[in-house]
Amino acid sequence: MQKIFTYCFLVLIGLCFSSCDSGTSKNEAKKEAAETRYLTIKGSDTMVHLVSAWAEDFMKLHQDVELSVTGGGSGTGIAGLINGTTDICASSRRINDKEMELAAGKGDTPMEVSVALDGIAVIVHPQNQVESLSLDQLQKIFTGEITNWQELGGADQPMLVFSRESSSGTYVFFQEHVMNRQDYTPRARLLPGTSALVQGVAADSGAIGYVGLGYVKNSADRIKAVSIQDQDGAPFIAPSNQAVQDGSYPIARHLFLYTNGDAQGTAKDFIDFTLSEQGQKIVQEAGYVPLQ
Amino acid sequence: MRTDNFMRILLVATASISVLIVALIFLFLGKEAMPFAFEPGIGKLFDSGWVPVSFQEERFGIYPLVAGSSLVTVLAMLISIPLSVVGAIYISEVAQPMEREILKPFIEILASIPSVVLGFFGLLVLAPLVKDVFGLNSGLNALTASLLLALMALPTIITISEDALASVPQSFKQASLALGASELQTIFKVTVPAALPGIMAAIMLGIGRVIGETMAVLMVSGNSAIISFFPLDPIRTMTATIAAEMGEVPFGSHHYQALFWIGLILLFVTFLLNAFSRIILKKYGMAQ
């Protein structure tokens, strides 16, 4: 009885190995026949929809190319580029000095291409009477200095501050460019995603938060984007594609693709595609702002 | 006989895999966390602020996170222990076999709902409800998180408590009834005290489940790193912090290492809870 059991077991193991073998050889055969070119793109969660949309259309144009797109965050993407686990890194922020050093230590030279623009809209509840804010006021709101809408000419109502998680590129961008590098108030509620943030702001008339410009259009009936003033005396600018492109809207940023050294081969084809007319049209469709 | 030995070794190896994995997890967490102890020093963890991304001063104080985790755990247990223990007593001692057939599958379904789905439920249903009931400006707070966590701990505590109650020898109950005690007296004076170690262990495992839960808490707790023990304040737990920040943290930075310290502390706490519940079970001869 025991013998039979042992035999069965060994046969099973044997089957296991043989099937694994045939699996790999099949894959190799396929690879050789079609000469598929593989390319991995990793990075910013903000950009993952955009990059996927690009990849889809790019693969339609180039049947022999297989692209794999993953998110994980700009930091993850840059680390992947440095460690050599991705060919292209998508990042919603510039590579920082520490990461540059780390890359130099490994003999890498990350090269940067700006592929799209992203404006960040400050959103409030539609019933909020406040229509416009200055960067200075925004800084005071998000650092917790102003806690009631009355101080800004609104209703006597406590302010409810929403922010993205500190892992979000948008969090750091907002902190650097709007809050003058000050810390967020510890009472700010940090939400793990844009949709949760829109949900939160739509649910309370005292709420304020920030999201990418593209998301405002999709939920215009539930939230309201305020106009922003760069500095005293400057005009209040409503967030729009045009205002982001001509640089008059103060809270905007570039979105980047990074390669290790100058892009070559498939990577170069892909980056050229993102900058082409068709690629920039996809930028618009994905809710971001084309370069021109 | 050689095949016997071979099989024996194979089976021992298979059974030992989880021991090995736990040891390796401890080892690698420790390896990633350790550099923090030398630079910037372990004292940095004992700070009142968690401000990991800052242009001013990065602060890695775990007090707000420990406070947050403790608050939701205590609240969740206050809600779920009475419910689940009484529920287990009913299912095990009072319910008709027919009722049991209906109740038990539903409790098992509750156990198998993915926590992220419960998180959705919390975000869309529970948070607005808490907001309206207490007249708050946001329902994303410790209480909402605790309600969700209580829901998750229920099946764990019920199932294990029920096992403990069922394993009380029939002769105890018969002796009690024969002495003239009523059904209710028998349950609360004989059966429950006899099963108490098992129920304690069930509660410990429930606490372990609650401390370790991540996704649902991340979605509904508000995630503000403030030290507060008021249930209607937003709080940030240790698990949610790791889940939210690990994705973007620069590899090898102090922030990265600090997150590994939080992981180590969490692992250590759940390890203690598990060990403690096993000791209780073993002491009272309930472990298999």
Distance between CA atoms of residues B115 and B213, nearest Å: 8
* Chain A nearest-CA residue for B242: A167
Contact yes or no for A255/A116 (Cβ under 8 A): yes
B55 with A176: Cβ contact below 8 A: yes
B140 with A189: Cβ contact below 8 A: yes
* Chain B residues near residue A75 by CB distance under 8 angstroms: 247-251
* Chain B residues near residue A191 by CB distance under 8 angstroms: 140, 223
* Chain B nearest-CA residue for A187: B224
Q: Which of B55, B127, B226 sits opposite A187 (nearest CB)?
A: B226
Assigned token pair, A17: 């190995």
A204 with B7: Cβ contact below 8 A: no
Nearest to A138 by CA among A168, A171, A175: A175
Residue B140 — φ and ψ, nearest 5°? -85, 90
Calculated CA dihedral for residues B134, B139, B143, B147, nearest 10 degrees: 110
Distance between CA atoms of residues B138 and B194, nearest Å: 45
User: How many residues in total does chain B contain?
Assistant: 288
At B42 the pLDDT is 85
Taking domain A36-117+254-285, whether its CATH number is 3.40.190.10 is answered by: yes
Q: How far is A198 from chain B (nearest CA, A)?
A: 12
pLDDT beneath 50, residues of chain B: 287-288
All residues at 6 or more sequence positions from A17 whose CB lies less than 8 Å from its CB, including other chains: none
Look up the ipTM and state it.
0.77
DSSP letters along chain B, please?
-HHHHHHHHHHHHHHHHHHHHHHHHHHHHHHHHTHHIIIIIGGGGS-S-EE-S-SS--EE--HHHHHHHHHHHHHHHHHHHHHHHHHHHIIIIIS-HHHHHHHHHHHHHHHHS-HHHHHHHIIIIIHHHHHHHHT-S---SHHHHHHHHHHHHHHHHHHHHHHHHHTS-HHHHHHHHHTT--HHHHIIIIIHHHHHHHHHHHHHHHHHHHHH--HHHHHHSB--------TTS-B--HHHHHHHHTTTSPTTSHHHHHHHHHHHHHHHHHHHHHHHHHHHHHHTT---
B223 with A190: Cβ contact below 8 A: yes
Q: What is the mean pLDDT of residues A44-65?
A: 88
pLDDT band at A34; cut points 50, 70, 90: low
Q: Which of A74, A165, A204 sits opposite B244 (nearest CB)?
A: A165
* Chain B nearest-CA residue for A206: B137
Assigned token pair, B287: 């472990």
* Interfacial residues of B (vs A; Cβ cutoff 8 Å): 3-4, 6-7, 49, 51-56, 64, 123, 127-128, 131, 137-140, 218-219, 222-226, 234, 236, 244-253
Distance between CA atoms of residues B130 and B147, nearest Å: 10
Q: How do residues A235-290 score in pLDDT, each as one tens digit?
A: 999 998 889 998 899 999 889 999 998 888 889 999 999 999 999 999 988 878 89
Return the ∠ at Cα B212 (arms to B207 and B214), rounded to 5°: 130
B234 with A169: Cβ contact below 8 A: no
At A6 the pLDDT is 52
pTM over 0.90: no
Assigned token pair, B23: 């040891």
At A25 the pLDDT is 43
At A142 the pLDDT is 95
CATH topology of A36-117+254-285 equal to that of A118-245?
Answer: yes
Residue of A85, A108, A125, A165 to mutate, testing the B interface (most B Cβ within 10 Å of its Cβ): A165
Domain ranges across chain B = 2-33, 62-283
Domain ranges across chain A = 36-117+254-285, 118-245
A176 with B253: Cβ contact below 8 A: no
Q: How do residues A66-124 score in pLDDT, each as one tens digit?
A: 999 987 778 888 988 988 889 999 998 888 888 899 899 888 899 999 999 988 999 99
Q: Which of B3, B56, B222 sits opposite A6 (nearest CB)?
A: B3
At B285 the pLDDT is 64
Tell me the CATH number for domain B62-283. 1.10.3720.10
Q: Is the pLDDT of residue A1 over 70?
A: no
The dihedral through the CA atoms of A127, B216, B223, B77 has a sign that is: positive
B7 with A175: Cβ contact below 8 A: no
A23 versus A161: which is more confidently predicted? A161
Q: How do residues B108-162 score in pLDDT, each as one tens digit?
A: 899 899 988 999 899 889 998 999 999 888 889 999 999 999 999 999 999 999 9
Nearest to B160 by CA among B22, B15, B287: B287
Taking domain A118-245, whether its CATH number is 3.30.830.10 is answered by: no
* Chain A residues near residue B115 by CB distance under 8 angstroms: none
Q: How do residues A203-215 score in pLDDT, each as one tens digit?
A: 888 999 998 887 7
